[in-house]
Structure 1
Amino acid sequence: MSQADAGHAAHGADDRLTSLLRPVRAGNGFEEALEQILQVLRLGLVAAGERLPAERELADRLGISRVTLREVLKVLQDEGLVESRRGRYGGTFVLPRTGAPGEEELRRRLKGVDVEDTLRFREVLEVGAAGLCAAHGLDEEGAARLREALGRTHDAPLTDYRRLDTLLHLTLAELSGSPTLTAQYAAVRARVNDLLDCIPLLVRNLEHSQRQHTALVEAVVEGDAEAAREIMREHCAGTAALLRGFLG
């Protein structure tokens, strides 16, 4: 692509993204920024061979730091969606989309699944369980179980993280004192895990999740129901952003 063509393509991409990219919420900046840029690529608003807007402009539009933006772009590079080119006419360029080996499996898993309904129901159950545990209070045994489940997720190998993360959330559901909620949560979490297995495990996202987990457990143990509900709501929103970005 010539210098003039590259400049024209980049300007065209900027125009198309004006109404789409928006500042993310502070709590899930990485996840929501990734969701938005994945949506841009999925919609074809920046064609293969075209350059994304400059880092400074993208970061400003999304309301995130350039460090966070570079982590987002690294994920997109690792997934083979964009490539970084150096030099005077360099930047981040969109690569042609190719059929990924897991696309058939992804279609099978998504068939008959209402992703939005699953995510909303999961949020209702998770936020409800967190609020109930904090409002009713945990005895020493319950608090110890919750902290032990949290501890197992710390420094867990990537291959085992999702299982231990599931057990932490399931422990919270069980401690809510509602067997019906626990059963419903187990069912919806199984569907969520099927979807999560179709997207990559991102270290930045897991580190963020762990900070949220720690804050959540402390809020529950301290009996702060409002904080527990809000932390869990934000936590679920981060997961939902990733799933919408990759699967939407």
Structure 2
Amino acid sequence: MSVQASAALFRPVRAGNAFEETVERLLQAVRLGVVEAGGRLPPERELSERLGVSRVTVREAIRALSDAGYVESRRGRYGGTFVNAVLPPKPAGDGIIDAEELEDVLCLRHVLETGTAEQAAMRSLTPDERRHLKDALTEASVADLDDYRRRDARLHLAIAESSGSTSLTSAVADVRMRVDALLDRIPLLQPNLDHSNTQHATIVDAILGGDPATARQAMAEHTEGTASLLRGFLR
């Protein structure tokens, strides 16, 4: 393992999306060959210290990558987490997405959805609008894995509708179609869904509480978490 490349990838993650960014860093190490096929990842304790996250977060990230077929954990004296000799096939469709195309979608989504959340929090919502937003949040929070992305999309559209702008809602719907096409190419990770539900609640609470700054910041962290996973799996 190159010391320089290892240091670059296994550097402290930013606060807010520890699980998602840990998955991204580990995937980068695998995809870029920093840890070669059959090679062993650094121990959980070392990864925890270098990435600046808890060992629980590291363990959840490794479990997610194991479930997706990228690594396997072995017990015993010579155990650890090893990169699989044969990695999972490339995502369905045209293979690994073009980096510029990916960043274009992620940038557009970030700008639109953070602004939309902020705008929604600046409005005095009607009782029906508040009820619609709360219902969408509840539906997303209790959705099972098979239905999660559809409910998630409906919540983001409800937030857009709360902005009071038809043009913004239309733009968010368009970019959401592009984001969903990318999300369909990566696995659903339960720790990410739990984290997303927590972030959703913070966003909606800020909108209902008339707090534009918090709504914008919470949405920014939310979109950045999704972006980390998409970059890790697809770029």
- Give the alignment's TM-score, normalised by structure 1: 0.90
CA RMSD, Structure 1 to Structure 2 (Å): 1.8
1:200-235 deviations in whole A, cap 9, x for unaligned? 011100000000111111100000000000000000
Q: SS state of the match for residue 145, structure 1?
A: helix
* Match 1:31 to one of 20, 38, 45: 20
Matched, 1:219 2:202: no
Q: Percent identity?
A: 51
- Structure number with greater Rg is 1
| AA of the residue aligned to 1:45 | V
8 Å contact kept, 2:91–2:234: no
Residue 128 of structure 1 pairs with residue 129 of structure 2: no
Which among 79, 82, 87 is matched to residue 68 of structure 2?
79
Residue of structure 2 in register with 1:9 after alignment: none
1:1-248 pair list within 5 angstroms: 12=1, 16-98=5-87, 100=89, 103=90, 105-107=92-94, 110=97, 114-248=101-235
* Amino acid in the other structure paired with 1:53: P
Q: Specify whether residues 68 and 104 from structure 1 end up closer, same or farther in structure 2 by C-alpha distance, changes over 3 A only.
A: closer
Q: 1:216 to 1:202 in 2, by over 3 A?
A: same
**Where does structure 1 lack aligned partners over 5 or more consecutive residues?**
1-11
CA distance in 1, matches of 2:91, 2:150: 24
Question: What is the distance in 2 between the residues matched to 1:19 and 1:241?
Answer: 16
Q: Secondary structure at the match of 2:142?
A: coil
Q: Deviations over 1:56-111 (max 9, x none)?
A: 111111111111101101011111111111111211111113452xx362326947
Indicate conservation of the 8 Å contact 2:96/2:234, yes or no: no
- Work out the CA distance in 1 between the residues paired with 2:40 and 2:95: 33
Letter of the 2:213 counterpart: E
Unaligned 5+ segments in structure 2 are none
- Normalised by the size of structure 2, how large is the TM-score? 0.94
Q: Residues 141-185 of structure 1, C-alpha deviation per residue, up to 9 Å, x if partnerless?
A: 211110011111122111111111100100111121111111111
Deviates more, 1:238-247 or 1:153-162: 153-162
Structure 1, residues 97-154: CA drift from partner, whole Å, max 9, x if none? 3452xx3623269479811010110111111110001112312221111001111112
Which letter maps to 1:17? S
Question: Using the alignment, how far apart are the partners of 2:139 and 2:20 within structure 1?
Answer: 24
